[in-house]
Structure 1
Amino acid sequence: MLKPWPWFLLFICLSLCLDSCSASKAERMRKAEASRRLGEGCLVGGNYTAALKELLKAEKLYSKDHLLQNDLGLAYFAKRRPDLAIPHFKKALALKPDYSQASNNMGTVYLGLRQWDNAIRCFNHALDNILYATPHIALSNLGEAYRGKRDYKRSIDSYNKALEMVPRFFRAHRGLGLTYMATGNYEAAITSLGKAVQYAPQFAPAYYDLGCAYAGRNDREKAISSFKKVIELAPDAPLADKASAKIKKLGAVRLRNHSKNHLPPVERVV
């Protein structure tokens, strides 16, 4: 039988080991958080490779952080690797099931993959959380998913719910305009897209969409004006080339119509 003194020493040793392990874990978590924050800064700055490097470093130190897993999903998505992004969003939700941002982000990845039903499930899951701070974002994304499924009624309803919450949310105005355009309702599309460019005057894609809506209504002058705005705002972007092609096409239509209405005089054969 051991004497009391050795038992006391054993207890002290075990306590020291536990304290050491706790301190080691706390230090790893502290370093992991520092790397995560660096990675988030790189994400915001658009340096996705550097972001991924820092976030992976953080994961090696401490992986059970829902914020980190969400960040990794965003980094892989930015690197055009949806196949690697989705598992990290799932890990974030496994760690925190009511983490609506991760659910919304995963739905956005599914939108890019045109997996509409998976996207809808993700957005609805995000909206199930009554404490979700930005439900208008998930509702707008839900509108896009329903438009992808050609369920235009639900698409319009989702966008309108988003706009009830945030009336100046330009992405919802743009999405609503695109849905109206898909139904052939160009008047309503022009109204919604007009609000989109009003609230986001530097967002070139909304001007392009507005130009398409004007063209659908056969309002050539306003269509050309909108397409010119695209070129002004984003002269080096591929969208500017598309806008130029639209302008040329509308110009060709005008020339054809002009030639029909101004035929040269002919002599009648008597």
Structure 2
Amino acid sequence: MLQEDPKRTHVPAEPQLIVALYVATNQPVVQPMGRTAQAAQGAVVAVREGASFHVMVALTLAESGENVIYSAPPVEQREVQQALEEALNFAESMGFILDGTGWANLDDAHRSELLESTPAFWPPADVEEAPAGRPRIDDPMQAVARLFAAFALLLFASCSGMSAEQRAQAAEIHQQLGDNLLYQGDAQGAIKEYMQSLDLDETPEAHNGLGLIYWYSLGRPEDGAKEFRRALQMRPDYSEAMTNLGALYISRSQFTDAIPLLDKAARDPLYKTRTVAQANLGWALYKSGQPEKGIGEIRGALAVAPKYCLGWRQLGTIYSEQGRLDEASKAFGRYAEECPDVGDAHLLFGKVLARQQRAKEARAEFERCAIPKQERDKPVASECARFLKELGTP
């Protein structure tokens, strides 16, 4: 089980000890414990330490530049692949789109370039300190707090205690405070508000919020799952809790457990983000040995949300792993078309085109991603440049 390791500030940049490296091609918003919600770069790394191996998920926070490292207990060499799968699922559950670097096949120059461009390998001295004492700006949480203060004052003045309706109203306000604190990255403050909300009136929303904190912020997936399950006991059709619990199960490779939850959430016509549940359902079905059903669900999600980048990437990956190159080419082509600013889309499309012996078209895709637009694009750009070099001049 992956948990935050406060003793690690970065991954050692020792190429001879690294056995696998995956780098994220996007920067989703994450919220590690005690930090504000912010965009982050991500990487999954397997390193050899003596006779054992460590697999880590490294997040580099965009605002502070801090590396947050999640690691699992050391494993033997025969267990590395399984540990990598669990780490990749963990990172993907946070919204990262990861691409393998082909570390074992890289020469020393390309390995050095990757280490220099991937911030997970940068020690703290190489990272600029974030300015301290930044004042907190006014936000919706303060308005909720003022509302609660006025509400509490009226109750105090009445000296008549709280009716069931008043307790429910106060519980809702504490739950809203918890939601806002969670968004701001104050996990401990959010827990306090959710607990107070539950003391006043138990609601599935508060349990769902606690589940997110335990899982995402505190690295306690068992406790997170317990809270999600309690929310579903109270409201069996609570699609948001079903989607969260399903994503948690996927992050732990419990694909068969995730399927019924995600299936129910994906069929809820009132659930605004049901396409995410449907795409996750498709991935869980594929990973559990039902590829055609999985493909059908991902296609269904993409029919509703054609710009859902992760869905096109998942679909292309499935077809590519099955050797269905024509379909993989079409899926990655749509990925590149709908998400043209994602360098990973052109890289994956180019790889499939190269496998189809369509060198001219592959070269055009690699050229689109070979020059990084931002610092975060460098790992993908390096891969694109390497493939361009291998293709040679036209």
Provide the secondary structure at the position in 2 that maps to 1:232. Answer: coil
Contact 1:197-1:203 within 8 A present in 2 as well: yes
Whole-angstrom distance in 2 between the partners of 1:203 and 1:72: 33
> How far apart, CA to CA, are the structure 2 residues paired with 1:216 and 1:41?
48
CA deviation map 1:40-69 (0-9, x unaligned): 33544xx43x1x223211222122121122
Match of 2:206 among 56, 68, 74: 68
| 1:156-199 deviation line (CA, Å, top 9, x unaligned) | 11112223334444433332222222222233223223323433
Alignment deviations for residues 4-46 of structure 1 (CA, whole Å, 9 cap, x no partner): xxxxxxxxxxxxxxx94534x65655454334324433544xx
| Distance in 2 of aligned mates of 1:97 and 1:67 | 12
Distance in 2 between residues matched to 1:225 and 1:36, nearest whole Å: 50
Q: Closer, same or farther in 2 for the Cα pair 1:111/1:207, shift >3 Å?
A: farther
Deviation, structure 1 residue 245: 4.7
Offset of residue 93 of structure 1: 0.7
Q: CA deviation at 1:99?
A: 0.3
Identity of aligned residues (%): 23
User: Matched residues in 2 for 1:207 and 1:252: separation?
Assistant: 16
Counterpart residue number, 1:83: 222
Structure 2 unmatched ranges of 5 or more: 1-158
Measured against aligned partners, the alpha-carbon deviations of 1:185-238 in whole angstroms (never above 9, x if no partner) come to 233223223323433344454444334434433544134235436x325x236x
CA distance in 1, matches of 2:178, 2:352: 40
Give the CA deviation at 1:131: 4.2
Q: 2:387 aligns to what?
A: 250
Could you tell me the TM-score, scaled by structure 1's length?
0.70
What displacement does 1:153 show? Answer: 1.0
Secondary structure in 2 matching 1:114: coil
Distance, in Å, in 2 between the alignment partners of 1:57 and 1:101 is 22
| RMSD of aligned residue pairs (Cα, Å) | 3.1
Against the structure 1 CA distance between its residues 159 and 27, is the aligned structure 2 distance closer, same or farther, given a 3 Å change threshold? same
Q: Give the TM-score normalised by the residue count of structure 2.
A: 0.50
Cα distance in 2 between the residues matched to 1:84 and 1:39:
17
More relative contact order, 1 or 2 (CA 8 Å, 6+ apart) = 2
Give the match for residue 8 of structure 1.
none
| 2:373 counterpart of 1:232 | yes
Q: Which residue of 2 aligns with 1:162?
A: 301
One-letter code aligned to 1:88: E
| SS of structure 2 residue aligned to 1:156 | helix
CA distance in 2, matches of 1:60, 1:71: 10
- Partner-residue secondary structure (3-state), 2:283: helix
2:238 counterpart residue number: 99
In structure 1, what is the Cα distance between the partners aligned to 2:169 and 2:288?
45
Equivalent AA in structure 2 for residue 60 of structure 1? M
* The structure with more helix, counted as a fraction of residues: 1
User: Match for 2:259 among 117, 120, 145?
Assistant: 120
Please point out which of 144, 158, 162 is paired with 1:22: 162
2:207, 2:262 → 1: CA distance? 18
Counterparts of 1:107 and 1:78, CA distance in 2: 14
